[in-house]
Chains A and B, each alone.
Chain A
Amino acid sequence: MTHLNNQNSPFIHFHQRINFQFDGKKYHGYKGDTIASALLRHGIKLIGRSFKYHRPRGIYTCGIEEPNALVQIISEHSEPNVRATIKKIYEGMEVESQNRWPSIEFDIGSVNSILSPLFSAGFYYKTFMGPHKSFWKKIYEPVIRKAAGLGKPPKEFKAISSHLHHNVDIVIVGGGLNGLLAASSLIDTQYDILLIEGDNQLGGILNNSSKINEINGQRPQEWAKETIESIKKSKNIKILNNTLVTTYNYINHLIAVEDKYVGAKPAEDKVNSTLHKIRTEHVILSNGHIERFLSFQNNDLPGIMLGASFEKFICRYGVIPSKEPVIFSNNSNSNSLIQTLLELHIKPKAYIDSRSGEQIEGELFELIRKNDIPLYTNSQVKAAYGNKKLEKIVVQDSSGGINEITTDFLCVSGGINPDVHLFTQSKGLLEWDDKDLTYKPSKSFQNTITLGSASGQFNFEEIENELNQKLKIFNVNKIIIKIKSNTASRYQIQKLWEVPAHKTSMWSKSFIDLQNDVTTKDIRQAISEGFDRIEHLKRFTTNSMGTDQGKISSINALGIVSDLLDKKVNEVGTTIYRPPYAPLSFAAIAGRNSYEFYDPERKSPIHQWHIKNGAVFEDVGQWKRPWYFPLSKSETMYDAVQRESKTVRESAGILDGSTLGKIEIKGKDALQFMNLIYTNSFTKMNAGSARYALMLGEDGMVKDDGIICKISDEHFIATTTTGGAANVLACMEEYAQTEWPNLNVYMNSITEQFATFNISGPKTRDIMSKVFPEIDFSNQAFPFMTFQFHEFQNTQLRIMRASFTGEMGYEIYVPSNSALKIWEQIQEAGKEFGLTPYGTETMHLLRAEKGYIIIGQDTDGSITPIDLGLNWMIGKTKTDFLGKRSLTRSDTVRPDRKQLVGILPLNKEDSLEEGQHILLNESLQTPVPMLGHITSSYHSPIMGHTFGLAVIKDGRSLIGTKAFASTSNQKTIPVEIVKPIFYDEKNERLVS
């Protein structure tokens, strides 16, 4: 089928054959081909099935604006929704069509086309409301999900991308005629410039059409080649090809994605795409224009294509999609297509123009007459027909007569729009141009310059003027550019949005959005139902909500709406174009923040030992903490936790507490600062002693807890919860800087500098004395809540007598480098005493038996220290601390606040469930009075049954009463409300 090639195209390497597959069949193209151009070379028109109605669809455009020709690339981890008009082929590429079953030629879903009344505007909201709620989930949704949609998500893939930051002075978006002119005028200036082009070569319209004959006396290709060479040689301009600017943010911040594998199979182990994050002073938008289509019956048939795209396929990709196309236009943009065809000795089968003979440009009229092309003026294409591809069109001529023309191809042009997406993303204002019938950039909101057709300036002889005027701010030399064009000297268009149907049928539809299968009838229906605001109409009909954002059709929809409402288009307004300009992959966005780098894992210095000893891990924030240590594969979590906690109570256990936050506070005013941050008073505390402390928010609610060690009035070390470490440090810094800058105080995180071991149980003192024989661990020498520094094996340890298990115990702070060694020594020494390592679950159980709360489990940001019964921790004599005033607010002192209590099941075999409600009556008859809920519950090996902590309204006054707890199987169990302490209430073991 070589007769369909345009060998004149310099961009296709006809001597380099490339083999690829489409739907399992083998085809070939040439180096430089896109999937679309290669398939057109073989006369393939049917590329996919449409979103809702499964109608046959082909290639509608030749670029990024493509609504139809989306394919799945099997050879790239089955990447879906790839535009066939952009993606270049490579040897061995496997491509599949989408949204068809069982095959593209015979598709069962196309019955949807017959069921189309079901799928009309707003069908999601209306059709599937009854008869029962579950119908949606169980019947309608799965059926619709299967029937409607785009490509299939890939099952597994591993894409690699990287991010690159740029700080430049000027970014030129689009390396077409105007982009090249702007760049060449800025060669070797003081500006740092990025010239960004989506295609793999610069040139734009010079490559895509025959619109321009001559630039400054040179053939356009020669001029482009020379200009590009000189830009490449410049010291200040960097060119990024294959790079699409997707986003224009505030303060001239652009996001662009670069495809590193154009025309090649992406390597599995190399960066496939680069996301460029660009901050610039100025942006020059020279990203051109997009042709729009026209609505008429069955304007979606394969074989219908935009006119400028048809020309681009010929010039840029060297393929002539048809030797006898019919052209239908309402504007002067198609003139150059006729030129291009005639130069290749191809005579269009007919030229149909909605404009009158007088309106059509004289040159064009002459050309058509000279070449004897059948001309229909004042005429419109009413409908297209064919079985899975275009076979004939119906034309209404100037006298109203209906003519049928047999043809395999129809080129359509409904006018051109400046590509304003990026300009509107930058918050620039648009203005409707009544003459050119399009929205054009009017007022920039940022340092944005638009050039050429991107600015709505469609006439080549104006370019010189515009460039000189708009680039003046860069003090460039006067630009002299003389362009001889092939096309009409002035862009001219006649209003036409939709051609009314000449006869209706179940199958015939006039589309306004090809990708989302929205018809002009849907628009009319939406308006008749009151959705006459453009943003409402868009959501109700899903018009322009596809991945193409209605690039070729959204302005047409505005035109149709404005006619229906009898308003001007600028009164109808426009919907907002949102980033990204075109879809980009999550892999590109994620960059290196993916896989193992997505959420970093933090590990304690003892981590390897935990693994060796069979720990099962729990995620606590980013930390990996041992959850429990099963003795064998057969020991369940329940058994392990019961065993671990029993061992702690009977002999001894050790917990790796390294993840606890540790903050060091120093400075002349450290004491005063700590008194302001925590509820407790540290003034009378002796140096070398420690205290359990609470931190509140200014609203009086408990935010964090920890142990504060006072080394001196000018030096403290605070521990925080594992999850609260960063927030506590940030809070201290904030108050130190913003509220009390007069205080001389500094703070720093030392969490990762020190490992922490919590060792407790009745045998602890024996173990400690064995490991550290030179230290006196007697109560007299080392009392409860004191700490000491000790030199040990060439490192300094801080040992504290403290416990949160309720047993006597110590906390050992070890510099991380020595931590594992000392941990192993303790394990060794502990063997004879039955020392067991235990994890977070046992820790929680042991704490709960003592009524020690867990921040974030027993508190939820709405609990005060008074609610917890921790009044003793509030420094009564202090005039101020964070949240103090809130503790006497009327809301914080009301008696019916939720308070912490303990819960015991009356039947010991019943188990309490976390999150279940506490009720005063057995009945679950709604409305059930909400008293509060169980915050923690465990099975206690020492009590032999479950117990819980709960926060319930006025809980303390209910202590001793009988109540009920709800269960997850809609029952209640009888419980008793008790004090929130279940073990060693007098703390005798703690201080033993």
Chain B
Amino acid sequence: MLLIECPYCGPRDQSEFSNGGEAHVKRPDGSQEISDREWGEYVFIRSNPKGLFYERWVHSHGCRKWFNCVRDTSTDEILKIYKLDDPKPPLKDFENKIQTPSGEPDVGSGNFTVKK
């Protein structure tokens, strides 16, 4: 279980939070003018990287505040937590070390030695 540091309440167990998917996906302004494709991408398409990921969390069993987070999805390490109105930290701030727990390959999962 992750330990998540709510910017308003401090570190709490993951069970107090809900994940809100990818962060910095802005709802298009003037949504009637944009194409079906652009709108469809906003509604349906999210990235799902192995490695650094900007995501949203909400402290649903706490202060009910939303906030943003940078997490390495391959190690589950939380690299940064910041408020919604804080600027998006650039990728270069983080070392993108895809060092997965069991030394798996960059893509996919399973036992490394077996995959060989």
Residues of A within 8 A of B (CB): 249-251, 253, 279, 427, 429, 445, 533-535, 570-576, 698-699, 730, 733-734, 737-739, 741, 879-880, 884-886, 888-890
Residues of B contacting A427 with CB < 8 Å? 101-102
A200 to B21, CA, bound (A): 46
- Which one, B75, B85, B101, contacts A741 given CB within 8 A? B85
A429-B102, A886-B43 known; A738 and B56 CB under 8 Å?
yes
| A535 and B114 form a contact (CB under 8 A) | yes
A576 to B100, CA, bound (A): 15
| A885 and B84 form a contact (CB under 8 A) | no
Q: Taking the nearest CB of chain A, how far is it from the CB of B30, in angstroms?
A: 8
| B39 and A741 form a contact (CB under 8 A) | no
B97 CB–A CB distance under 8 Å:
no
Q: Mark B25-45, 1 if CB is under 8 A from A, else 0.
A: 001101110101001101110
| A890 and B36 form a contact (CB under 8 A) | yes
Q: Chain A residue with minimal CB distance to B18?
A: A730
B2 CB–A CB distance under 8 Å:
yes
A865 to B66, CA, bound (A): 30
Residues of A contacting B20 with CB < 8 Å? 734
B110 CB–A CB distance under 8 Å:
yes
A733-B64, A734-B58 known; A573 and B39 CB under 8 Å?
no
| B60 and A250 form a contact (CB under 8 A) | no
- Which one, B34, B60, B85, B116, contacts A885 given CB within 8 A? B34
- Which one, B13, B39, B56, contacts A886 given CB within 8 A? B39
Residues of A contacting B76 with CB < 8 Å? 250-251
Which 6 interchain pairs have the tightest Cβ spacing?
A: A427-B101, A573-B113, A885-B31, A251-B3, A737-B66, A573-B114
Q: List 12 A-B contacts (CB under 8 A).
A: A250-B76, A251-B1, A253-B1, A427-B101, A570-B113, A571-B113, A571-B116, A573-B112, A698-B27, A741-B84, A880-B32, A889-B40
Q: Chain A residue with minimal CB distance to B65?
A: A737
A734-B58, A741-B84 known; A889 and B36 CB under 8 Å?
yes
A841 to B108, CA, bound (A): 50
| B43 and A699 form a contact (CB under 8 A) | yes
| B31 and A253 form a contact (CB under 8 A) | no
Residues of B contacting A733 with CB < 8 Å? 58, 64, 66
B19 CB–A CB distance under 8 Å:
no
A879-B32, A890-B36 known; A738 and B66 CB under 8 Å?
yes
Q: Mark B57-69, 1 if CB is under 8 A from A, else 0.
A: 0101000111000
A593 to B43, CA, bound (A): 37
A738 to B58, CA, bound (A): 11
A888 to B40, CA, bound (A): 11
A533 to B32, CA, bound (A): 54
B7 CB–A CB distance under 8 Å:
no
Residues of B contacting A251 with CB < 8 Å? 1-3, 76
Residues of A contacting B49 with CB < 8 Å? none
Residues of A contacting B43 with CB < 8 Å? 698-699, 886
Residues of B contacting A574 with CB < 8 Å? 111, 113
Residues of A contacting B113 with CB < 8 Å? 570-574
Q: Taking the nearest CB of chain A, how far is it from the CB of B62, in angstroms?
A: 13
Residues of A contacting B116 with CB < 8 Å? 571
| B1 and A250 form a contact (CB under 8 A) | yes
* Max chain A Cβ within 10 angstroms of own Cβ: one of B40, B56, B116: B40
Q: Taking the nearest CB of chain A, how far is it from the CB of B49, in angstroms?
A: 19
Residues of A contacting B60 with CB < 8 Å? 730
Q: Chain B residue with minimal CB distance to A534?
A: B114
Residues of B contacting A739 with CB < 8 Å? 27
Q: Taking the nearest CB of chain B, how far is it from the CB of A422, in angstroms?
A: 14
Residues of B contacting A250 with CB < 8 Å? 1-2, 76
Q: A535-B111, A886-B43 are in contact. List 17 more A-B contacts (CB 8 A).
A: A251-B1, A253-B1, A253-B3, A427-B102, A535-B114, A570-B113, A572-B113, A730-B60, A734-B58, A734-B66, A738-B84, A739-B27, A741-B85, A885-B31, A886-B39, A888-B32, A889-B39
Q: Taking the nearest CB of chain A, how far is it from the CB of B107, in angstroms?
A: 18
A427-B102, A445-B101, A885-B39 known; A534 and B66 CB under 8 Å?
no
A886 to B36, CA, bound (A): 8
B103 CB–A CB distance under 8 Å:
yes
Q: Taking the nearest CB of chain A, how far is it from the CB of B89, in angstroms?
A: 18
* Max chain B Cβ within 10 angstroms of own Cβ: one of A734, A739, A879: A734
Q: Chain A residue with minimal CB distance to B103?
A: A429
Residues of A contacting B39 with CB < 8 Å? 885-886, 889
Residues of B contacting A699 with CB < 8 Å? 43-44
* Max chain A Cβ within 10 angstroms of own Cβ: one of B84, B102, B116: B102
A251-B3, A734-B58, A738-B56 known; A885 and B102 CB under 8 Å?
no
A574 to B30, CA, bound (A): 55
Residues of B contacting A249 with CB < 8 Å? 1
Q: Mark B75-103, 1 if CB is under 8 A from A, else 0.
A: 11000000011000000000000000111
Residues of B contacting A890 with CB < 8 Å? 36
A445 to B100, CA, bound (A): 9
Q: Chain B residue with minimal CB distance to A698?
A: B43
A733 to B65, CA, bound (A): 8
Q: Taking the nearest CB of chain B, how far is it from the CB of A885, in angstroms?
A: 4
Q: Chain B residue with minimal CB distance to A570?
A: B113
Q: Taking the nearest CB of chain A, how far is it from the CB of B102, in angstroms?
A: 7
A326 to B38, CA, bound (A): 78
Q: Taking the nearest CB of chain B, how far is it from the CB of A288, in angstroms?
A: 23
Q: Taking the nearest CB of chain B, how far is it from the CB of A505, in angstroms?
A: 35
| A533 and B114 form a contact (CB under 8 A) | yes
Residues of B contacting A885 with CB < 8 Å? 28, 31-32, 34, 39
Residues of A contacting B42 with CB < 8 Å? 698
* Max chain B Cβ within 10 angstroms of own Cβ: one of A571, A573, A730, A888: A573
Q: Taking the nearest CB of chain B, how far is it from the CB of A441, in angstroms?
A: 13
Q: Taking the nearest CB of chain B, how far is it from the CB of A332, in angstroms?
A: 29
Q: Taking the nearest CB of chain A, how far is it from the CB of B82, in angstroms?
A: 14
A733 to B40, CA, bound (A): 23
| B31 and A884 form a contact (CB under 8 A) | yes
Q: Taking the nearest CB of chain A, how far is it from the CB of B7, in angstroms?
A: 13
Q: Taking the nearest CB of chain B, how far is it from the CB of A71, in angstroms?
A: 33
A571 to B60, CA, bound (A): 46
Residues of A contacting B101 with CB < 8 Å? 427, 445
A738 to B22, CA, bound (A): 12
Residues of B contacting A534 with CB < 8 Å? 111, 114
Q: Taking the nearest CB of chain B, how far is it from the CB of A410, in angstroms?
A: 35
| B111 and A884 form a contact (CB under 8 A) | no
Residues of B contacting A889 with CB < 8 Å? 36, 39-40
Q: Chain A residue with minimal CB distance to B85?
A: A741
A737 to B63, CA, bound (A): 12
A733 to B20, CA, bound (A): 13
A86 to B28, CA, bound (A): 62
Q: Chain A residue with minimal CB distance to B42?
A: A698
Residues of B contacting A880 with CB < 8 Å? 30-32
A886 to B1, CA, bound (A): 37
A699 to B31, CA, bound (A): 13
| A737 and B40 form a contact (CB under 8 A) | no
Residues of B contacting A535 with CB < 8 Å? 110-111, 114
Q: Chain B residue with minimal CB distance to A735?
A: B27
Residues of A contacting B56 with CB < 8 Å? 738
A730 to B19, CA, bound (A): 13
A885 to B41, CA, bound (A): 12
* Max chain A Cβ within 10 angstroms of own Cβ: one of B1, B20, B32, B65: B1
A890 to B37, CA, bound (A): 10
Residues of A contacting B111 with CB < 8 Å? 534-535, 573-576
A698 to B20, CA, bound (A): 15
A448 to B7, CA, bound (A): 27
Q: Chain A residue with minimal CB distance to B66?
A: A737
Q: Chain B residue with minimal CB distance to A279?
A: B3
Residues of B contacting A738 with CB < 8 Å? 56, 66, 84
| B66 and A884 form a contact (CB under 8 A) | no
Residues of B contacting A737 with CB < 8 Å? 65-66, 84
| A884 and B64 form a contact (CB under 8 A) | no
Q: Chain B residue with minimal CB distance to A250?
A: B76
A815 to B60, CA, bound (A): 27
